[in-house]
Amino acid sequence: MVPAELNKLQIASYSVELPFDRLKLGVDNVRYDVYISAEFRKVTEQYIFELIMKYAEVSESFILNPEVNWFKETSEFQRLCTEILTDGVNKAKARQELQVDFLAQTALVKFLTGEMQAQYDEVVQHCKNVIRRQEISHQMEAMLKLREEAASVIQQKNQIIRKVGAELFEYVIEVQQEVNNLRAANFGESATLPKELFSNPILHAASGSDGFFLVENYVLIGHRLEDPVNYNTLVNLLASFLSQLDSSEPAFDARSHESFKTYGASCDTKVDGWIKQVDNIDKLFNYFRTQDALKQLKAQNADSQKIETVKDTLLLQKKLLNQLFSLISKENMMAGVVAAYLMQPMFHKYCPPLSPQECLQYLVVSKARKNTIRKLKRFKKYFGKSFPLTPLKRTVWRIWWTFRQSRKKYLVRFLRDFSAYHRDMNNYALIKEASDCINITTDEKIIALSRGNHSLYEFILPHEDFFDKKPITHHVVLKADVRGSTAIVDQMKSKKLNPASNFSLNLFDPIGKILSQYGAVKVFIEGDAIILTIFEYQDSPGRCYSVSRACGLALNILMIVKAYNERNRKSRLPRLDLGVGIGYADSAPTFFYDEDNQIMISPAINAADRLSRCDKTLRQQLYGKKLPFNVYEMEPKLDPETAVLFNAKVLRYNVKGIALAPGGFWKLAKEIHLDKLECLIPEIQQEPLTFYTGKFPTVAGNYQRLVIREALIPEVALKDLSVIRLTENPYYEVCTHPAVYQYVKDRT
């Protein structure tokens, strides 16, 4: 086997990291100080307490809240989780540091896992308090029953916490999937941590090597040398096997066998990544699945070359599985692999008093059977029942008579379960190490000191951040230059209709209703102009999407005007035309007052005004032509005599378009993750096109895609607008072309 053959199977490497090395250490210079919203902590503590009570299955005497509404409580927990994690993403974006988001996610996991233990202790203490009150009232019979229940709660601690953790983190994973949209919008798809990092059952297990836990979640694997199927032996065997596949050395010869039990537990990072990628097991060894696929292809009369490729894969997988099967057999683990599955329907009859590992040893290690039988007889009187050996003996017989082909199928299944367990063990170690680096503090002195040193990472709820009391740091101005309103007013008046109600109900009111979705406020609205602004505030990263939200708002305004024109067409009224300009300023605007009226002064208003306008010369020459886009900028070639007639250096065509200031585009690139596409779409334009695309969150948390066209301003002859040359100056349009949107969506 050489690397080229291995590449045919297209195996991938699994890797995940949680680095904090670029973050600032807290006051102890060892850990990172984190403060999590007090309201979130309080709600979560109560929710986990109720979950523990539910899985402890206690009687009414212990229950504090018998009418708990689980749907409502769960929804509230998930909402608050979403807001905490969203704050983490926003603060990572504000600092341009993804590790802040990693810190928020890890801190949440640490808080939840710690709180499960703390609330379990609270439940036990609550049960003791209830029993103590019964003792005082001398209700002895009731007290004895409650004591039995409390003892059961203590005895089942591990199972209760496992069940609570499984449910709790299931809700967290749902939240993560929602917040991942925001992460991808800001940092790209690669910024999201894998789902299994948080769905990892080992996170909320008392021990990752407990036999009952392993049977329930993976497959029974031992961590002691005497265990029939040993974890370290398997890791080293697989690592050595895959290392040789990755080299140009001859493949494993199972006949020259050397035990893997003496090898160290570490292995090459790349090879270990292959072991942790669960899908690799099927790609490397599952020729049974490939056989089924080959049969289907033949039945469908598929392409002969495709059939030959699948045949080659099948032969390669068969060869690899045979080699590994021989190695595991020589390690005397194959019987344990088969037994790990055949014992599952019956082991609970003997466990307890036996542990699952003792049950497995009885099935595959003949020397262990006498001790196991003696133990079962000894415990007969304690459990008040006998433990017949017939099911055990029958299972031993089934293991012995399992055919070689079936053993290989069990081996493939086992390797998948083992791979998932190995991945989760490593992920647990990663989370544990990262969690140990975090100090989730509620101590006011530490909070004040760390905050004063700018080393406190705070993850809070939106209403705990009073952004409106903070200074404005940036702002965007959107101007819609409305054309045709005078003609509509005149015609409506001639028909004795009310133009004011027409504009209000069908244009201005619909625009006003969507402003809150984008965090926009009105500056000025009149018949021929709509001016809106979006502010950004200091230390309010959740509102740092001013340009992207202005672009999304502009798209919606165009849709509202389109619907308005459709109504006018049916009423035989003139249509409205408009051009939208978006200006940006990286500073606060200036405000002054005329009596009670606030007046805003800003260079972004001037920029938006210029961008929204349409030059009459261009409009006369281009309007009515089937142009692919709605915004064009041109630099006229002027001689000294004609130059004095032009106030502007650039001519702009903007009809039903959205022009974005270059400064606004660069701010947009900081707000969200933009993918660049350089392409040729002949049905739209013969020349190459450049687009940027990304998604942004609205204030409500929905996601909207933007497509921005970048083009260089051409120098043109004023007479016929023929292009003389392209300048180096770009201009930007927020695209509305449906075909462009579909093209971009299909490729991102």
296-321 pLDDT, tens digit each? 888 888 788 888 888 888 899 999 99
For the ranges 76-85, 293-302, 500-509, 713-722, the lowest mean pLDDT is seen at 500-509
Which among 581, 579, 691 has a CA at the least distance from the CA of 630?
579
Tokens of 79: 């909402």
- Tell me, letter by letter, the H, E, C secondary structure of 121-179: HHHHHHHHHHHHHHHHCCCHHHHHHHHHHHHHHHHCHHHHHHHHHHHHHHHHHHHHHHH
The tens digit of pLDDT for each residue in 419-469 reads 999 999 999 999 999 999 999 999 888 888 888 888 899 998 887 766 555
- Each residue of 326-356: pLDDT tens digit? 999 998 889 989 999 998 888 888 888 888 8
pLDDT of residue 253: 52
* Pick from 36, 47, 108, 50: nearest CA to 77: 47
pLDDT value of residue 255: 47
Mean pLDDT for 641-670 is 82
H/E segment holding residue 599: strand 597-601
Set out the domains of the chain in order of their start, with CATH numbers.
Answer: 36-207 (no CATH), 219-431 (no CATH), 466-746 (3.30.70.1230)
pLDDT in tens, 461-514: 887 766 555 788 889 999 988 877 777 777 777 777 776 677 777 788 888 888
Residue-wise DSSP of 385-418:
S---SHHHHHHHHHHHT--HHHHHHHHHHHHHHH
pLDDT, position 641 = 57
Percent above pLDDT 70 for the chain = 91
Q: pLDDT value at position 385?
A: 72
CA gap 662, 94 in Å, rounded: 21
| Residue partners of 95: CB distance under 8 A and separation at least 6 | none
Kindly tell me the sign of the dihedral angle through the C-alpha atoms of 80, 81, 82, 87: positive
Name the strand (E) or helix (H) holding 487. Answer: helix 485-494
Which positions ≥6 away from 526 have C-beta within 8 Å?
none
Question: Given the DSSP bridges, would you call strands 472-483 and 577-585 parallel, antiparallel or unpaired?
Answer: antiparallel
CA gap 715, 64 in Å, rounded: 77
Nearest-angstrom CA–CA distance, 458 and 306? 55
The SS3 assignment for 675 reads strand
* Cis previous bond, 541, omega within 30: no
* Residue 653, phi then psi, degrees to nearest 5: -110, 120
The pLDDT value recorded for residue 262 is 44
Characterize the bridge pairing of strands 675-679 and 689-697: antiparallel
Region 510-523 average pLDDT: 87
Residues whose CB falls within 8 Å of the CB of residue 481, separated by 6 or more in sequence, listed in order: 528, 529, 578, 579, 580, 581, 609, 612, 613, 614, 654
Quick check: bond before 636 cis, omega within 30?
A: no
Residue 532 in contact with residue 477, Cβ under 8 Å? Answer: yes
d(CA 208, CA 223): 10
Residue whose token pair is 């596949």 = 245
**Average per-residue pLDDT in the chain?**
85
Tell me 210's DSSP state. -
